[in-house]
Amino acid sequence: MKNLLLIAFFIFTFSIVKAQGPPAMAEPTNSNKLLIDELMEVSSYKVLFESSCISQIDNISKKNKWTNDKLEKTKAKLNFQDFKNFTVYNAFSSLTTEELKHFIAAYKSLKKRKVETKFFLFNPIISNNISNYLTNFIIDK
């Protein structure tokens, strides 16, 4: 009887755990979302994202000997807004308001000093998702 109860307990527990699915994507608070948007603006994130993607697309194009038409059509598929909504908010959702303000201030300081080098702020989530974005949504295989 004890074994039967133990087996029933494990089956019940396993079915509940399996039915839950993956956790929800992390989302920043509304106020932090505004700060993330500001960070994207002051850091020229869209320009750096597109530049990085175009560079990778150019390399893939050369390797696979694409026509100019295919190359231009592929580049035209880039959509920073989609990437930002899916990846950037998730990647920066763990930052506090103070940390976001610190990054914004740092980028503004660099702009005041007219630093020519652009810094692309990313973490493993963004790095992996740029690669996945290019592979799964942009480049036709």
pLDDT at position 76 over 50: yes
C-beta neighbour count of 71 within 10 angstroms: 17
pLDDT at position 128 over 90: no
Could you read off the pLDDT of 86-118 as tens digits, one per residue? 899 999 999 999 999 999 999 999 888 887 777
Burial class (CB in 10 A: 0-12, 13-18, 19+), 117: exposed
Pairwise pLDDT comparison (8 vs 64), residue with the higher score:
64
Cα separation of 47 and 64, whole Å?
25
Pairwise pLDDT comparison (82 vs 137), residue with the higher score:
82
Pairwise pLDDT comparison (23 vs 72), residue with the higher score:
72
C-beta neighbour count of 89 within 10 angstroms: 18
Could you read off the pLDDT of 22-69 as tens digits, one per residue? 555 677 888 999 999 999 999 989 998 999 899 999 999 999 999 999
pTM of the model: 0.73
pLDDT at position 6 over 60: no
Domain boundaries, the chain: 2-138
pLDDT at position 16 over 80: no
Predicted local distance difference test score (pLDDT) of residue 8: 47
Predicted local distance difference test score (pLDDT) of residue 11: 54
How far, in whole angstroms, is CA 22 from its chain's centroid? Answer: 18
Nearest to 36 by CA among 97, 122, 79: 97
Contact predicate 83/49, CB 8 Å? yes
pLDDT average, residue stretch 70-81: 92
